[in-house]
Amino acid sequence: MDLGSLVQITIWGLLAGCIYILLAIGLNLIFGVMKVVNFAHGELLMLSMYFTFFIHEFFDLNPYLVIPISVFLMAFVGILIERLGFRPIMGTGKLNEIFLSLGLIYLLQNAVALIWGTGSRTIRSPFEFDSISLGSRQIPLDYLIIIGITMVLLVLLQVFLKKTTLGRAMRATSQNREAAMLMGINVERMDMISFGLGSALAAAAGALWCISGINFNPYIGSAPAIKAFAVIIIGGLGSIQGAILAGLLLGLAENPLLVLLNALWTETANTLTFLNLPADISFLSWQNSVSFLILIIVLILRPQGLFGERGE
Amino acid sequence: MKMSLIRSVLAFLVVVAAFSLPLVLRINSAMLEILIIMCVFIMYSSAWNLLTYSGQGSLGHAAFLGLGAYSSVLTAKFLNLSGLWAINVGGSLVLIQSTILTVFVGGLFAAVVGVFIGLTCVRLREWFLAMVTFGFAVIIHTVTLELKEITGGHDGLPTKHLVSITDSQITDPFVKTLMRYQIEYYVILVFALFVIYVIDRVLKSKVGLAFEAIRENELEAKVMGINTVKYKLIGFALSAFFTGVAGALMIHHTGYLTPEIYSVENSFRPIIYCISGGLFTVEGPIIGTFIITVIWDGLKSFGLVYEHLVIIGLILILTIIFLPRGFVSIPGKIRSRFRSGS
């Protein structure tokens, strides 16, 4: 295993991390303001992939230019879901919003499957064949652009939350809803905006993932959404820095770490033959479980998450 | 007093209907299959409801379903038990297999694992718990796939049936299967009735009251002297036990076991059934399972592959918004409508 391939796998991990971070921050915003969990967040990502695909197909636009359009569309869809679904059940029960989002998962997945079929689709990026060579390995230019766009989005979000009046109002609502209401903030409008913003971030994640050349189908959203939940719990609820760090951690743990473990295991089994270790064990099949293992370990050791405050 | 009398009469009528159904209608084996799976899911949803009754909503109950199934199948396989007893039904010999006892091993194993999962979850609330339980289902799925020597990996295991028909004059395999299905239906129905009865007793006992107190306000329950950790673990153990038994029964009926049993759909189904039927009630999961299964399989049999799931999703959303207490609250609503009208 040479250095080039290690860098390549690390870039894969970073790409996966970017998707998790964008999803997780959207979830964090929604949870912070509304105290509602949206398990159907992955379905918003999936919907955005289909929007990106069809806008790209019909208007023959550069996929990077489609991103703002699908982000805008999905913000609208998010507001619609908040209005019709979550607002009527706000404050009715602790578990109701989880169950409502389960209903949304069934509804959205199968509606998309019904309308557009379950066949897998893929998008062609204009920079598909451009890559940066790194020793024996090639790194696609698209991956680097996607990581760059994610960083720009994160900086913009931070500026919005810290510097603008609207962002301050949102943070105030997430800190203390009653006090914010008394200060003259329209908290229901904040709910709407936070859900719209969360959906927009999920849409950005979907569009970027789509451009990275993945094959997608109506069922693609569940896995990253569930991992995004793990990310916000690991990072601490409501903490954006925590979400960024945990997202990167998870992205790296899923790809490079497992490959490294695999290489190490084979090496050990081959050198220390007297231990009689089975050399064919593959850690790669643990890719889906690794996030939950980290989650459970973190919750046992530090129930409030890495960056979370006590009490939540 | 009057309401409880009506309820007992209704329950009795439902039991009689459930017992006479395969005799009155000349049901084919496909219909019987749906009825058997319905009975299993009534058990499973009631067990899930029991855990939710103590304020702990699980999104990964398929883990217990699968654990119960795998441990029962493996016990039956390695102990290599013979049939328990033979009954003569209309000239053909029906052998009740010992798998009818190994399902309890399945339940016990699921309960032990459930206590361990409960221990990691006692400090967690609502959706932290939901995530951890969901994660356990995924992890156990991976572990099952990896232990290829024992569990058979992707290919799964063949399993023994609950009953087998030997020494029979019937040679037609279809009639034989139908007969096996009929007997298995009664076996599983008895199990389901027993489980529902036990859950009803538990919810009406001191334990049930403690569950309710913890669900409504954990801190106040603690102040009142309820050992919340103990009762939460009891909730996990009981729920996992019944779920494990249900999983083992289902798998001994179908005759094969693959890791598909840990699927997300198996985790979500009891949630849909309980929510639509009515959470925190004994009859809710039963009514919900019945109605949703009829809709689910009915629409599916018309060839509506995706439409039926869209409709199920819509039903779930609409019941949460407009009927938060499920289908069981419909009679009460109608009655109050009439009363205010007159």
Enter the tokens of residue A311: 């009490």
| pLDDT tens digits, B100-142 | 888 999 999 999 999 998 888 877 776 778 888 888 898 899 8
Residue B93 pairs in a beta bridge with B88, B166
Q: In chain A, which residues have pLDDT < 50? A: 311-312
User: Is A284 at the interface with chain B, CB within 8 A?
Assistant: no
User: Is A95 at the interface with chain B, CB within 8 A?
Assistant: yes
User: Is A286 at the interface with chain B, CB within 8 A?
Assistant: yes
User: Is A42 at the interface with chain B, CB within 8 A?
Assistant: no
Cα(A293)–Cα(A257) distance, rounded to whole angstroms?
A: 14
Question: How many structural domains comprise chain B?
Answer: 1
How far does A129 lie from chain B, in Å, by closest CA? 36
- Provide, as residue numbers in chain A, all residues whose Cβ is less than 8 Å from the Cβ of B54: none
How far does B227 lie from chain A, in Å, by closest CA? 21
Cα(B29)–Cα(A308) distance, rounded to whole angstroms?
A: 55
- Give the model's pLDDT for residue B87: 75
Cα(B78)–Cα(A16) distance, rounded to whole angstroms?
A: 43
User: Does the residue B307 lie in any domain?
Assistant: no
- Provide, as residue numbers in chain B, all residues whose Cβ is less than 8 Å from the Cβ of A289: 135, 138-139, 141-142
Cα(A204)–Cα(A21) distance, rounded to whole angstroms?
A: 11
* Surface-to-core class of residue A110, CB atoms within 10 Å of its CB (0-12 exposed, 13-18 middle, 19+ buried): buried
Q: What is the chain B residue with the closest CA to A105?
A: B313
Segment B311-334 shows an average pLDDT of 88
Contact B120 A222 (CB under 8 A): no
Write down the domain spans for chain A: 3-301
Contact B52 A107 (CB under 8 A): no
Instruction: For residue A133, report the phi and psi dihedrals to the nearest 5 degrees.
Output: -85, 145
> Between β-strands A137-140 and B85-89, what pairing exists: parallel, antiparallel or unpaired?
unpaired
Determine the residue among A99, A227, A237, A294 to mutate to test chain B binding: the one whose Cβ has the most chain B Cβ atoms within 10 Å. A99
CA dihedral A107, A41, A180, A244 (to 10 degrees): 180
How far does B132 lie from chain A, in Å, by closest CA? 7
- Give the model's pLDDT for residue A165: 93
Residue B314 has pLDDT above 60, yes or no: yes
Enter the tokens of residue A102: 């389960």
| pLDDT tens digits, B231-257 | 999 999 999 999 999 999 999 999 899
- Give the model's pLDDT for residue A311: 46
- Give the model's pLDDT for residue A107: 93
From A235, A14, A276, select the one nearest A140 (Cα to Cα). Answer: A14
- Give the model's pLDDT for residue A153: 94
How far does B151 lie from chain A, in Å, by closest CA? 16
Enter the tokens of residue A306: 């890495």
Reduced to 3 states (helix: H, G, I; strand: E, B; else coil), residue A211 is helix
The count of residues in chain B is 342
CB B282 within 8 A of CB B196: yes
Which structural domain, as residue segments, surrounds residue B186?
28-260
- Give the model's pLDDT for residue A276: 65
Enter the tokens of residue A231: 């990310």
Segment B23-38 shows an average pLDDT of 82
Q: What is the ipTM of this complex?
A: 0.83
- Give the model's pLDDT for residue A163: 93
CATH pick for A3-301 out of 2.20.200, 1.10.10, 1.10.3470, 1.25.10: 1.10.3470
How far does A92 lie from chain B, in Å, by closest CA? 9
List Cβ neighbours of A309 (8 Å cut-off, separation of 6 or more). A236, A238, A239
- Give the model's pLDDT for residue B232: 92
Cα(B75)–Cα(B105) distance, rounded to whole angstroms?
A: 8
Find how far residue B265's CA is from the centre of its chain.
14
Contact A98 B126 (CB under 8 A): yes
Q: What is the chain B residue with the closest CA to A282?
A: B146
List Cβ neighbours of A166 (8 Å cut-off, separation of 6 or more). A160, A193
One-letter amino acid identity for A276? N
User: Does the residue B211 lie in any domain?
Assistant: yes
Residue B1 has pLDDT above 60, yes or no: no
Determine the residue among A80, A104, A299 to mutate to test chain B binding: the one whose Cβ has the most chain B Cβ atoms within 10 Å. A299
* Closest by Cβ to A303, choosing from B57, B124, B317: B124
Comparison of pLDDT for A3 and B226, the residue scoring more: B226
Contact A114 B307 (CB under 8 A): yes
- Give the model's pLDDT for residue A133: 77
Alpha carbon distances (Å) from B183 to A302, B218, B250: 52, 45, 14
One-letter amino acid identity for B159? T
Contact A291 B135 (CB under 8 A): yes
User: Is A99 at the interface with chain B, CB within 8 A?
Assistant: yes
How far does A97 lie from chain B, in Å, by closest CA? 9
Residue B66 has pLDDT above 70, yes or no: yes
User: Does the residue B185 lie in any domain?
Assistant: yes
User: Is A109 at the interface with chain B, CB within 8 A?
Assistant: yes
Q: What is the DSSP string of A106-164?
A: HHHHHHHHHHH-S--B----TTTT-EEEETTEEEEHHHHHHHHHHHHHHHHHHHHHHHS
- Provide, as residue numbers in chain A, all residues whose Cβ is less than 8 Å from the Cβ of B131: 226, 229-230, 233, 295
User: Does the residue B327 lie in any domain?
Assistant: no
Contact B321 A233 (CB under 8 A): no
- Give the model's pLDDT for residue A312: 41
CB B250 within 8 A of CB B42: no
From B61, B31, B32, select the one nearest B46 (Cα to Cα). Answer: B61
One-letter amino acid identity for B42? I
CA-derived radius of gyration, chain B: 21
Locate tokens 């569950």: which residue? B211
Q: What does the mean pLDDT of chain B come to? A: 87
Cα(A217)–Cα(A214) distance, rounded to whole angstroms?
A: 10
Cα(A4)–Cα(A2) distance, rounded to whole angstroms?
A: 6
Beta strands in chain A (DSSP E): 131-134, 137-140
Determine the residue among A34, A41, A97, A107 to mutate to test chain B binding: the one whose Cβ has the most chain B Cβ atoms within 10 Å. A107
| pLDDT tens digits, A40-72 | 999 999 999 999 999 998 988 888 999 999 999
- Give the model's pLDDT for residue B249: 94
Instruction: For residue A111, report the phi and psi dihedrals to the nearest 5 degrees.
Output: -65, -45
User: Does the residue B279 lie in any domain?
Assistant: no
* Closest by Cβ to A110, choosing from B146, B271, B310: B310
